[in-house]
Amino acid sequence: MTWFFEMLSYSFMQRALIAGLLISICAALVGVSLVLRKNSMIGDGLSHTAFGAFAIATVLNFAPLWFAVPVVVIASFFVLKMSGNKKSNGDAMVALLSASSLAVGCMAISLTKGVNIDLNSYLFGSVLSIGWSDVWLSLILVIAVVLLYIFAHNRIFAITFDEDFAKAIGIKTDLYDAIFAVICSLVVVFGIRLLGALLISSLIIFPTLIAMQFSKSFGRVVIASVLFSVVNFILGLVISYLIASPTGATVVVVNLAALIIARIVRAIRQ
């Protein structure tokens, strides 16, 4: 276990562990509703948008976080509106947004001289980029999301299962959609520095899919997805430290392995 204490002796690893755990909890909670409402790709679209926003903010010398948050929140409203609009092709809109944001971000960085940006850390994340301010912001976010789930989980279930029925019994589905859009945006923006624009959406999707292999109750899936998300993140971070692999990629591979094992276990049990 000495290696574990050695790992935690580095302050950047402490920050990465705490921020990662907090983001994992938020991502798992918001992921259950997004995945079950077939909106999984929204996380992907928003993470690419966040990349574009971070790149432009850096080039223009703005504070990246304060520039990216409003941009991604606005994009999330746009994407949710499109995905709920029967006349528009929601999937295509998300794909367009993803590709366009990525392209704009790359162009902004490559055409600007004298700006030293490590493109890889934006795309694939870096434990070194996490500061204490990220940890505190993540803590505030996780408190807000957990409180939302404690006090509104029944309504979140109703909206996730059957939006038309939820509207009919007076639940303000548009308000909940807006809250989820903001939370999803913040999870993406806060998590992008750790896992990267290309990998952060996996933190939203994998835990729910893994939890669904073991439980057929909504409440249990919510709790199980949080547990899987947290455990898989810790495993990914530790493995990445031990074998000196990129943290974001390792966390995703651990989640992928967990999903494969979960499916095999489920098939055997059936």
Partner 1 sequence: MSHAIVAKNLSLSYGSNKVISSASFAIDERDFVCIVGANGSGKSTLVKAILGLVKPSSGKISFGSGIEQKTIGFLPQDVKADLNFPATVFEIVLSGTLGRLGMKAFYRKEDKTRAEEALKRLGISKLRNASFVDLSGGQKQKVLLARALAATSKLLILDEPSNNLDYKSRKEFYGALKKLNESGLTIIMITHDLDAEDLIGNKVISIKEAKVECAPTADFLRSYK
Q: Which residues bind partner 1 (CB under 8 A)?
A: 35-38, 150-152, 154-155, 157-158, 160-171, 211-212, 215-221
Cα separation, 64 vs 60, in Å, equals 9
Closest by CA to 192, choosing from 201, 180, 181, is 201
Identify which of residues 120 and 154 has a Cβ nearer to partner 1 in the complex: 154
Minimum distance, C-beta of residue 225 to partner 1, in the bound complex (Å): 10
Nearer to partner 1, 73 or 209 (CB): 209
Task: Give me 173's structure tokens.
Answer: 């589905």
Nearer to partner 1, 3 or 161 (CB): 161
CB of 162: closest distance to partner 1 in angstroms? 5
Residue 10, CB half-sphere, CA atoms under 13 Å: how many? 14
Q: Which two tokens stand for residue 238?
A: 């530790």
Q: Could you tell me the smallest distance in angstroms from the CB atom of residue 204 to partner 1?
A: 15
Output the six-digit token pair for 138. Answer: 């993540």
Nearest-approach distance from CB 30 to partner 1, in angstroms = 16
- The residue type of 140 is I
> How far lies 72's CA from each of 59, 133, 188, 212, 226, in Å?
17, 19, 9, 29, 24
Q: Provide the residue type at 246 as one letter.
A: P
Q: How far is the CB of 47 from partner 1 (least distance, A)?
A: 22
Query: Which lies closer to partner 1 via its Cβ, residue 17 or residue 41?
Result: 41
Q: Which is nearer to partner 1, 10 or 163 (CB)?
A: 163
